[in-house]
Amino acid sequence: MKRICERVLIVDDNEDVLLAAKLLLKSYVKTIHTEQDPEVIPQLINSESYDVIFLDMNFTQDITSGQEGIFWLKEILKIDSSAVVILITAYGDVETAVKTIKEGATDFILKPWQNEKFLATFASAVKLRESRNELNLIRSRQKHLSADLDTKFHDIIGASSLMKEVFATIEKVAKTDANVLILGENGTGKELVARAIHRQSHRADDVFINVDMGAISSSLFESELFGHSKGAFTDAKENHTGRFETASGGTIFLDEISNLSLELQVKLLSVLQNRSISRVGSNKVIPIDIRLVCASNRDLNQMINENSFRQDLMYRINTVEIHIPPLRDRAEDILLLAEYFLEIYKRKYNKPRLTIGETAVKKILHHTWPGNVRELQHSIERCVILGESDILQPHDFFFSANEEIKKEKVTLDSYNLDEIEKEVIREVIKKNKGNITKAATDLGLTRTSLYRRMEKFGL
């Protein structure tokens, strides 16, 4: 039997028992802690994670009833509910030992023991501990996955040459385990690209864990990413599996990594270099096997020059860089995306006959979309909800931050009446925050007349 576990704790007030058990297990366990005083059990378990705990049933205060062993068994399980405890008992206490199974003990061994029986019981206990750890990991993954499922993600849509380059890069890098850095403005779809990389990788059947680095406070950084042990701090009432441990075997996506302070960057760099983590409150080293994908909407090279981002961390995270172009640079995709989102929200809000009018299309194509794809998606949803006819018109699209207004504003030096009328109508609608009835009243027009002029001018 090869070495099968990391740490074992043996608690017995008989020094000969401790020595015999330690000699028997030393070939199979990396670290063996022995202890004669049961009073220190809580301190030991709070500071270390043990794969198996051997616990005597009777100590000096009560050498026959087994009640001390039952008491300490319960104390152990209070601290670590998944602990695997093997009771050490004498022949006369077998009946009591059997009863302790109901209290949460895994098994018991009799003194004096047969070495083969002892090792067989130990091996079974290690397998049980592994199963419990795996179950806890699965539960943690399900929790993270359930949170992800509550957020709707759509496929990446694009036919422009710039997006074709992005698709080609995704296809090349996905099949490797190379670290990827995705750069782009807010709303361009960086997370969708990260998910596409995961789906096309050999890790696709495992988990994708998304971490918004801007949403995690500095005080919770280590606990959230690396986990913590029960009792590590005041509110640590149970063991917590961190995002890196949960993501082991799959992909972890660190969104907006530029939000990390230099101090936290050092901690992250250490984990990436060592490919292992230690939970807060524990010295146990846990190896991790993750595919790392990061994203940022800021220029990390500029941050390096400003000494606000570590260059060695940059080397770690950007084996391959993918730049997502802003929507204004891929105008060919705007209408394609608009139609895609329209189909989604037509079904969602039960408006199957909705279409986008030609003049509205002009307005959509004319807008610079500073909020990128996210802004377009929200704009389409708003139009579907508030639209009053089956054809979406320009007035259904109200852009509170329309940059083109400034660019196209006509001065009084212009004598083109159509241009002057167009600008007046635009400014009055803006002043009334898109309320057509109020705008028509201010202009001395009926709603029908105003709509006709808006259609004429593509407003």
Q: Which of the residue ranges 4-18, 158-172, 432-446 would you say has the lowest mean pLDDT?
A: 432-446
**pLDDT tens digits, 90-117:** 765 677 777 788 888 999 888 889 999 9
Bigger pLDDT: 296 vs 104: 296
Domain hosting 97: range is 5-132
pLDDT, mean of residues 307-329: 95
150 located within any domain: no
425, pLDDT greater than 60: yes
| Rounded distance between C-alpha atoms, residue 265 and residue 272, angstroms | 10
Q: What pTM was estimated for this model as a whole?
A: 0.60
Please provide the average confidence, as pLDDT, over all residues in the chain.
86
Question: Does 349 share its domain with 261?
Answer: no
pLDDT digits (tens, 9 = 90+) for 279-294: 988 888 899 999 999 9
Residues 248 and 321 in one domain: yes
CATH number, domain of 62, equals 3.40.50.2300
| Pair (382, 286) in one structural domain | no
Res 406: pLDDT: 43
316 and 182 share one domain: yes
Residues 318 and 334 both lie in one domain: no
**Domain assignment of residue 139, yes or no:** no
124-133: b (≥16 Cβ within 10 Å) or e:
ebbebbeebb
CATH number at residue 365: 1.10.8.60
Residues 72 and 111 in one domain: yes
Q: pLDDT for 360-394, tens place per residue?
A: 998 999 898 999 999 999 999 999 999 888 999 98
Quote the percentage of the chain above a pLDDT of 70.
Answer: 90
Asked, for residue 143, whether it belongs to a domain, the answer is: no
One domain for residues 235 and 338: no
Q: Same domain, yes or no, for 333 and 451?
A: yes
Whether 313 and 353 map to the same domain: the answer is no
> What percent of the chain shows pLDDT beyond 90?
52
